[in-house]
Amino acid sequence: MTLVSLSGYLLFIAFIAYLVGTLLFGGAVKGSKNEASASNKRWGKAGITVTIIGFIAHLGYFITRWMASGHAPVSNMFEFTTAFGMMLVGASILFYFLYKSSAIGLFALPIAVIILGYAAMFPKDIQPLIPALQSYWLTIHVITAAIGESILAISAVAGLIYLLKNVDLTKRSKGRTWLEVVMYTLILVVGFIVVSAGFGASGYEAKFTYVDKNDKPAEIVYHNPPLFGMNQYELQTEGAMEPLAEMPPIINAKTLTTFVWSIITGTIIYLLIRLITRKRVAALLQPLAKKANLQLMDEIGYRSVLIGFPVFSLGALVFAMIWAHEAWSRFWGWDPKEVWALITWLFYAAYLHLRLSRGWEGRKSAWLAVIGFAIIMFNLVAVNLVIAGLHSYA
């Protein structure tokens, strides 16, 4: 067995372990009336054990892939997202031991599973490093930034649990609507995974020639039925669908097509859930959060920002500046990815100030934590795919 295939197996083991861990943590939260009961503890212990096994396998994937390629596996979308998922699990293990809360595990693991699923939709081959990435600062910068982001993400997990328990879902309110929006967004990501995996399995392909934004001819291959065509497209694959509309050159119609397919699929999944259960998704999850301790969730939310913020500052700003200084000759260049890291940093700085000086605790703080995670995800997903900059390779 080669290192590469070994690393693939290990990643798969981790994925399965996280699924099992979710169920076990679910048992811990659901199976007992009192969170501190013996049964809760038993299930919780089983949950954390499986999670740790998964994490070790995941770490094994990371190390073997590093050995195979000779560089840290954080240099493209698949690798970075997978590593982020791993660190999210690592952070939730850390917080389990700090606070012995099964609820965090119960909600963090499915998010990690979704993140891994999302990562798997990108090319998984091991790529050699382009010259700009040939620096040990890349490794240090990206890993530290990912650790910081994953710890910050725990605050969003705690915030989500807080909101699920705290927001009254029986009455119409802004909180209820927005909470449902958060759930819907998570389901859209699932929609993306279903679409990519589905069309991927069917082997769908449609090849086009088109004219790019610099007026040069180019080629592109769609892996799902093309809803939108590139600028002055011409279909090359026989029998494939003709696009419904042509896009101007600055819009990547392929990305747009995938995006729209994800929304369609996600919306269908969402509506099916609503139709079958006759409940809001938030209401479906609420029982899982009901036994969580609000004060504890608030504390975890705050603590994770406190722990994560310095790490994030170090990794996403300071190390990034050092690397940029070596590679691009300036430590700051207003590249979109850089700017969004700065925005994330400013946002959490605002969070801390609002909390410390203006007493924004509890629900307000929980909402801020969820928004913070949305900004991190925006930087990971949208900035890479939509706003191309120097980081567009990763």
Partner 1 sequence: MSSIKCECGHVNPEGTDICQNCGRPLSAEEKEKRLADMRYDGAAIRSMTHKRSIVDKVWNFFSSVKIGVSIIIAILVAAAIGTFLPQVFYVPAANEAQAAQYYEEHYGTFGKIYNALGLSDLYGSWWFMALVGLLGISLVVVSLDRGIPLYKSLKNQRTARHPSFMKRQRLFGEGKVADPDAVMAKAKEKLKEERYRIKEEDGAILAEKGRWSRWGPYVNHAGLIIFLLGVMLRALPGFYVDESMWIREGETLAVKGAPGLFIENKGFSYEVYSKDNAKEVFGEAIDRVGTVASKYQTDVALYKQPENALPGSTEKEYVKDYSIVVNKPLKYEGYSIFQMDFKLDELKSMTFALENKETEKPVGELTIDLANPEKEYDLGNGSKVRILDYYPDFSGFEDGEPQSATPIPNNPAFLFKMFTPEKPEGETSFVAIRQTLEPLGENEYRMAFQNADTRNVSGLTIRKDKTIPIISLGGLIFLLGVAQSSYFNHRRFWIRRTEDGKLLVAGHTNKNWVALKRELDKAAEYAGLPKYSDQRDPEEAIDANTEGDSKA
**Number of residues binding to partner 1, judged by CB under 8 A:** 70
Q: Does 350 bind partner 1 (CB under 8 A)?
A: yes
Return the range that interacts with partner 1 (CB under 8 A); candidates 19-27, 174-182, 233-241, 341-349: 341-349
Of 63, 211, 339, 381, the residue at the interface with partner 1 (CB under 8 A) is 339
Of 321, 374, 385, 394, the residue at the interface with partner 1 (CB under 8 A) is 321
Q: Does 294 bind partner 1 (CB under 8 A)?
A: yes
Q: Does 357 bind partner 1 (CB under 8 A)?
A: yes
Return the range that interacts with partner 1 (CB under 8 A); candidates 180-188, 226-234, 262-270, 332-340: 332-340
Residue closer to partner 1, measured from CB, 261 or 340: 340
Residue closer to partner 1, measured from CB, 277 or 310: 310
Of 1, 33, 130, 278, the residue at the interface with partner 1 (CB under 8 A) is 130
234-235 and 217-222 as β-strands: parallel, antiparallel, unpaired? unpaired
Q: State whether residue 135 is helix, strand or coil.
A: coil
Cβ-based neighbours of 381, under 8 Å, separated by 6 or more? none
d(CA 110, CA 92): 12
Of 39, 45, 49, 132, the residue at the interface with partner 1 (CB under 8 A) is 132
Instruction: For residue 391, give the nearest of 145, 65, 176 by alpha carbon.
Output: 145
Q: Does 82 bind partner 1 (CB under 8 A)?
A: no
Q: What is the dihedral of CA 27, 32, 36, 37, to 10 degrees?
A: -110
CB 350 → partner 1: shortest distance, Å? 5
CB 128 → partner 1: shortest distance, Å? 5
Q: Where are the alpha helices (DSSP H) in the chain?
A: 3-30, 38-69, 77-99, 102-119, 136-166, 174-202, 253-277, 281-290, 294-312, 320-327, 336-358, 363-385
Question: For residues 90-129, which are near partner 1 according to CB under 8 A?
Answer: 98-102, 123, 125-129
Question: For residues 30-59, which are near partner 1 according to CB under 8 A?
Answer: 34-36, 40-41
Backbone φ and ψ for 255, nearest 5 degrees, come out as -60, -40
Supply 227's token pair.
């809803």
Question: For residues 231-250, which are near partner 1 according to CB under 8 A?
Answer: 248-250
CB 84 → partner 1: shortest distance, Å? 21
Q: Does 265 bind partner 1 (CB under 8 A)?
A: no
Cβ-based neighbours of 35, under 8 Å, separated by 6 or more? 29, 102, 291, 292, 293
Q: What is the dihedral of CA 355, 360, 363, 367, to 10 degrees?
A: -60
**3-state SS record for 327-360:** HCCCCCCCCHHHHHHHHHHHHHHHHHHHHHHHCC
Q: Does 309 bind partner 1 (CB under 8 A)?
A: yes
x/- track of binding to partner 1 for residues 148-187 (CB under 8 A)? ----------------------------------------
d(CA 232, CA 337): 30
H/E stretch holding 207: strand 206-211
Residue closer to partner 1, measured from CB, 19 or 249: 249
Applying CB under 8 A, the residues found at the interface with partner 1 are: 3-4, 34-36, 40-41, 68-70, 98-102, 123, 125-132, 134-135, 213, 248-250, 293-296, 299, 302-303, 306-307, 309-310, 313-314, 318, 321, 325-331, 334, 336, 339-340, 342-343, 346-347, 349-350, 353-354, 356-358, 383, 387, 389
